[in-house]
Structure formats: structure tokens, C-alpha cells
Amino acid sequence: MEFSEYFPVWDAMTPQQQEAVSAGLVSRTVKKGTLLHGGGRECTGLLLVQSGQLRAFILSSEGREITIYRLFDRDICLFSASCIMRSIQFDIAVTAEKDTQLWIIPAEVYKRIMEQSAAVANYTNEIMASRFSEVMWLMEQVMWNSMDRRVAGFLLQEASIEGTDRLHITHDSIAAHLGTHREVVTRMLRYFQSEGMVKLARSAVELTDRAKLEALGG
Amino acid sequence: MEFSEYFPVWDAMTPQQQEAVSAGLVSRTVKKGTLLHGGGRECTGLLLVQSGQLRAFILSSEGREITIYRLFDRDICLFSASCIMRSIQFDIAVTAEKDTQLWIIPAEVYKRIMEQSAAVANYTNEIMASRFSEVMWLMEQVMWNSMDRRVAGFLLQEASIEGTDRLHITHDSIAAHLGTHREVVTRMLRYFQSEGMVKLARSAVELTDRAKLEALGG
């Protein structure tokens, strides 16, 4: 598949702009677990996912993590190119959650085109608004929802992404998604197991009563 | 003062666009406490503060609140006009925290100009990125900071906004800013008082040891 088919405002760009993007474009294939953007002030570029799955998260000074959003096929990550806008004053880190094929659009190329083109600037606006909506959803979860609801919701979301009720995931990794401690997750999963909602195995969680989980986390 | 002096991209608009904004513009003077945007799907328009202070917040289904950001002179509120972008999928409410003079730019007028003008679209991007940065800061506070640090930080921020160490504020109102319960705030302030950091009076909190508060909340 061509980049132009993945980039929704391709046709709105001038031939010169298309040329500049094509010339700067980097295509990468990365293994699951690869750190694509380190969470510092570096300007890696915009990441456009061809296939695979990325995870954007923030880190506390003590090394705790929380997932901010995830990116799937055709999604684009703006905040790995925070230098395109003066007002982006925060840092995220991005890793590959699955083997991923992606394109990297250099920040300075994108910035120049965005400044010229209303279509590209408005496309950027829509991407940012969409991530903003995800972060506001997360804020509401963190503020108003108890941890049992958040763990239940996370398990259901994972099952839907993976297309299976048997999840290969560690308690550590669930904790890093939700911004909590492993012990909290372990305690919660044991409680879920005692209620018949899940079955725990080594590095795996099986959803055994979806209806009950949905009543809690949906 | 003229609207054109408060709107940074005025000179980048065409005479027709300037004409459209001027024709649609509403100037309002509201009293402290006025609800300007209700937190529903209505599209009130963009709010540009001439003088005064606004507060944007979200509400839980149980009526708890948390302050998302504040707007001062020359600041603009985008999310009171969420219909300008399809991807804005969350609702905020906006009230006046002080007597405020502001302009309301109708959403449909702004949307049309933003679609035509790269300058206006990029200005919109910068506003959104700036609010996004504030929400990410808040997310970090909520996730990684304990409530004592957050209360101390809030008191210092208020003192800096108000230009005084004697704050006329209720425990209820502090709780609504921070997204917690009044009882939690009261307990914390009493602890601060016992440590000599504040002096409590009826509807007032006086900061008596800034250095200690800063060590905690800065």
C-alpha cells in the first residue's frame, strides 16, 4: 500500500508539498517492544501506523506509567513531533505493542506544510482534538471511577482489541496501562477470580464472565 | 479596546473574513458566578476574555467537579464551541470566577474561516495544544501527586492569581477545583494549620508559611 492512501489530506496538498513529504518520509518495521519515542524533548517526527499497534504513555519521576492512548492502523501520532507547535508543553513516550510497520514524517517538513495549507492545518486540528477527547475520557476515568471499574473496563477493551477472551498480559503491564501499582492489580484480579469473573494463570488472564465484567466496567 | 487588538490573527484574515467576524461578534459583561457554557452539547461559541477570569471544568454524574483550566485576559476558550470540530467528543462547563467582559465569536462563523485560512487554523491548533498541555499537567498532578501537594500547590497558585496571601475561598470551592470531597480538603487544611502553614477563618485561608507550602507543593 502507498503512503498516499494512508494520509487523508494527500490530495489536498500541492505537487510540491507531496514531493517534500515523499522525499522526507522514512518507512520502518519495528518489533513488539521497540521504543519509538523516548519521552524527552526530542522531535522524532509524526508516526503514521500502516499496520500494528503503538502505545503512547507518560512516565512519573519514579518510573510509574499510564497509557494515554493507543494507535492502530491508519492512526497518526502528533506528539512524537511536539516541536511542530510551540504550545505543546508535555512529553509522551511511544512503544510498539505489536510488530508494527509505520511511516515517520519529519517534523520540519510537516510543520512547513501545515503553515501553508489550511487543509493540513485543519487535519492536524482534528487529530489533536481526537487525542484530546481520549485524554479527557481518561481523566474522567481516573477522577470518578474506582479501580475495580477501571480494571474491568481495561480487560474488556483488551479482549476486544485482541479478539480473544484469553489475554496474555502480566499484572505489571496492566498496572502500567492504568497508572497504578502491580499489587493493586493483583489484589483486584484475585477478587475478580473469587467472583468467577476471570481465571488467572501464569502471565495470562481469562475472562470467564463477560456479563459480570461489563456490569462493572462498561 | 477593540476586538482586533485582542484577536492575534486579525491581520491575517481577509477583509471579508474580518467583516464576517465583526458582524457575528457578541460583547457581554457578566457577573462573577455566571454560567457561560453549560457542559452539554450546545455550541455557545468561542469565548475571548477582554478582562476578568473564567473557569473551565468537568462534572461527574454525581455532581463532583474538577477545574480543567482557567482563562485570563486575552485567553480564548475553544471547547465552548465544540461543534467547530467533529473530533471534540467531550464537554466542559465554563463559569465566570470574577466579573468578566468577553466577546463571543459564533461557532459557525469561526468554523468557516478556519476552513479557509491556514493562519486561523494554525492559531486554533496552538490554542488547543496549549489547553492540551494544561490538561496533561493536571493528569500528572492527579496521577502522581498526593492530595497534600495538590492543595498546597493550589493555595500558592491562588495567592499568585489574587496577589494576596489572604484568600477568600471556601473548602467546598477548593474541593471543586481539585476534584475531591470537602471533607478531604478540610482535613488537609487543618493539618496545614497545625503545621503553621495556614491560618483558617470563616470562608478564608491565610498563607502564613509560604516557604513550607512551596517545599510541599512547588
Encode pLDDT of A88-112 as tens digits. 999 999 999 999 999 999 999 999 9
Nearest to B143 among A114, A116, A142 (CB): A142
What are the DSSP E strand ranges found in chain B? 26-30, 35-38, 46-51, 54-59, 65-71, 76-77, 93-96, 100-105, 166-167, 198-201, 204-207
State the Cα–Cα distance between residues A37 and A77, nearest whole angstrom: 10
* DSSP tag of A164: S
Other C-beta atoms closer than 10 Å to the C-beta of A41 total 8
Query: What average pLDDT does the segment B114-133 reach?
Result: 96
State the Cα–Cα distance between residues A123 and A145, nearest whole angstrom: 32
Exposure of B131 by Cβ count < 10 A (0-12 exposed, 13-18 middle, 19+ buried)?
buried
State the Cα–Cα distance between residues B133 and A83, nearest whole angstrom: 13
What are the DSSP E strand ranges found in B24-114? 26-30, 35-38, 46-51, 54-59, 65-71, 76-77, 93-96, 100-105
Helix, strand or coil for residue A51? strand
Residues of A in contact with B115 (CB under 8 A): 118, 122
Residues of B in contact with A139 (CB under 8 A): 58, 66, 68, 135, 138-139, 142
Q: How confident is the model at residue A134 (pLDDT cuts 50, 70, 90)?
A: very high
A25: closest CA of chain B, how far (Å): 23
Encode pLDDT of B66-82 as tens digits. 999 999 999 999 999 99
Q: Note the pLDDT of residue B19.
A: 97
CATH number given to B3-143: 2.60.120.10
Q: Note the pLDDT of residue B22.
A: 97
A41 touches chain B (CB under 8 A): no
**Mutation site for A-interface testing, chosen from B57, B136, B149 by largest number of A Cβ within 10 Å:** B136
B184: closest CA of chain A, how far (Å): 15
For A28, residues 6+ apart whose C-beta sits below 8 A from its C-beta are A101, A102, A103, A104
C-alpha cell at B26: 457578541
Q: Note the pLDDT of residue B62.
A: 83
Domain ranges of chain B: 3-143, 145-217
Other C-beta atoms closer than 10 Å to the C-beta of A145 total 14
A146 touches chain B (CB under 8 A): no
Q: What is the dihedral of CA B39, B42, B45, B46, to 10 degrees?
A: 30
Encode pLDDT of B89-113 as tens digits. 999 999 999 999 999 999 999 999 9
Query: In what helix (H) or strand (E) does residue A28 lie, and over which residues does it extend?
Result: strand A26-30
State the Cα–Cα distance between residues B14 and A172, nearest whole angstrom: 55
State the Cα–Cα distance between residues A105 and A122, nearest whole angstrom: 17
pLDDT above 90: residue A62: no
Which chain A residue has the Cα nearest residue B127? Answer: A87
For B47, residues 6+ apart whose C-beta sits below 8 A from its C-beta are B36, B37, B54, B71, B76, B77, B80, B94, B102, B103, B104
Q: Which architecture, in CATH terms, is A145-217?
A: Orthogonal Bundle (1.10)
Encode pLDDT of A168-194 as tens digits. 999 999 999 999 999 999 999 999 999
Encode pLDDT of A25-57 as tens digits. 999 999 999 999 987 778 999 999 999 999 999
- Tell me the pairing of strands B54-59 and B93-96: antiparallel
